[in-house]
Structure 1
Amino acid sequence: MDQNIEIEFKNLLTEKEYMDLFKGLNLKTQNIFSQENIYFDTINFDLKKKKLALRIRIKNTHAEITLKSPHKEHLLETNIAISLLEAQQIIKSNAYYTSDSIADILRSYGLDTNIPLKIFANLRTERIEQKNNNSIIVLDKNYYANQVDYELEVESSSAEEGNQLIDDLMKNYEIPKRKTPNKIMRAFNAIHSKDTEV
């Protein structure tokens, strides 16, 4: 298990803005990699109510369980590496086995860990990254609920540096600032709106 403070800044993009950044940063299509996020919650969305997010992320050769919890102005990520087989077993059973460490965190928020967790959203991302000093520039193309969106993220070890970098990128590429809910919220909202369509 490892824990880290997630300092990231993000902004939704149009397809053209995504392509302009891709070309302008001299990124290469062969460096794109794919990952799938499977999100869990109780049937009553008890984690969402506590501003918690629980997912399994599947990559080509491995997977990990991640719990995101509020931490000051950022998020605390608790990550546990699991095998692809373990990930598939969790997904196949449509239930979630909480490790002791994650269960402890859930209980610290007053959650009953005996309540079963279910899959409520899947999101696949085609991602490319570029290192920039103490930060990483990330371009994501996301697929969920029959939708596609594009996103710029800057992950940094310094809030000041990360904020400055994304501001500079958006200014240089004439990208307007947009309200950007995190991926789990976008997937949840897309699925919820489909569920309520008449």
Structure 2
Amino acid sequence: MSTNIEREFKTILTAAQAHAIAAAYPFAAAFTQTNHYFDTASGALRQLHVGLRLRQFADHAEQTLKVPTGPGRTLTELTDPLPAGTASLQLTATNTVGHWLRSQGITAPLTEFAVATTKRRLAELPAGLLTLDHTTYGNGRSDWELELEYHHRDAAAATFQAILTRFGITATPPQNKVARAAANC
């Protein structure tokens, strides 16, 4: 189990911009993750502005609840590790996600409403973790996204702005991936 405060700058990119950034920074080898998004039939999580996903990697899985906790894109991520090959949520009284849902009175069944597969590349920069995502949705559409996760806002803001300027990018803050996946089932 882990709890993480997520602070980040994000923008949507064109494929050409993504390829130029990929060539310019020291990204580690790409890896693939598949995200399955869940909610109740009545949209209880959406109404709370909370996102719930099951993320599958090649060697493990995890379930993460993203809860808004501050201004801008500040989120608290509650994550429970799961064994490789896990294909469904594990919501028990002893794990973080299950406990949080029950604390909010959410007991209705959760069903998958969207899926997305992301090819992700990561680069450690002095200002934070630079992430380059190419995500493909259930209907075959895809997009590119650049994110800089940070601990110190001022340094990260300057770095992110320098990247945008260097590559001629006009910042286009994206909808969150849950909303994009739902719109592209």
**TM-score of the pair, normalised by structure 2:** 0.90
SS of the residue 1:84 aligns to: coil
Q: 1:70 to 1:108 in 2, by over 3 A?
A: farther
CA–CA separation in structure 1 for the residues paired with 2:22 and 2:90 = 39
CA–CA separation in structure 2 for the residues paired with 1:39 and 1:161 = 33
1:163 pairs with 2:157: yes
> Is contact 2:115-2:181 (8 Å) kept?
yes
SS of the residue 2:184 aligns to: helix
Equivalent residue number for residue 63 of structure 2: 65
Q: 1:107 to 1:162 in 2, by over 3 A?
A: farther
Give CA-to-partner distance per residue, 1:60-102, whole Å, 9 cap, x none.
11111101101112000001101024x22x2xxxxx4423232
> Is contact 2:49-2:68 (8 Å) kept?
yes
> Is contact 1:7-1:158 (8 Å) kept?
no
Equivalent residue number for residue 122 of structure 1: 115
Equivalent residue number for residue 75 of structure 1: 75
CA–CA separation in structure 1 for the residues paired with 2:168 and 2:150 = 22
Gaps of 5+ in 1: 91-95, 192-198
CA–CA separation in structure 1 for the residues paired with 2:41 and 2:165 = 42
CA–CA separation in structure 1 for the residues paired with 2:11 and 2:149 = 12
Q: Once the 2 structures are TM-superposed, how far is the Cα of residue 4 of structure 1 from its aligned partner?
A: 1.1
Equivalent residue number for residue 11 of structure 1: 11
Equivalent residue number for residue 99 of structure 1: 92
CA–CA separation in structure 2 for the residues paired with 1:182 and 1:99 = 27
SS of the residue 1:99 aligns to: coil
> Is contact 2:26-2:123 (8 Å) kept?
no
SS of the residue 1:9 aligns to: strand
CA–CA separation in structure 1 for the residues paired with 2:101 and 2:70 = 18
Equivalent residue number for residue 44 of structure 2: 46
Counterpart of 1:104, as a letter, is H
C-alpha RMSD over aligned residues:
1.6
Bigger fraction of residues in helix: 1
Q: 1:179 to 1:27 in 2, by over 3 A?
A: closer
Q: Percent identity?
A: 29
> Is contact 1:35-1:126 (8 Å) kept?
yes
Q: Once the 2 structures are TM-superposed, how far is the Cα of residue 137 of structure 1 from its aligned partner?
A: 0.7
The number of equivalent residue pairs is 180
Runs of 4+ displaced beyond 3 Å: none
**TM-score of the pair, normalised by structure 1:** 0.85
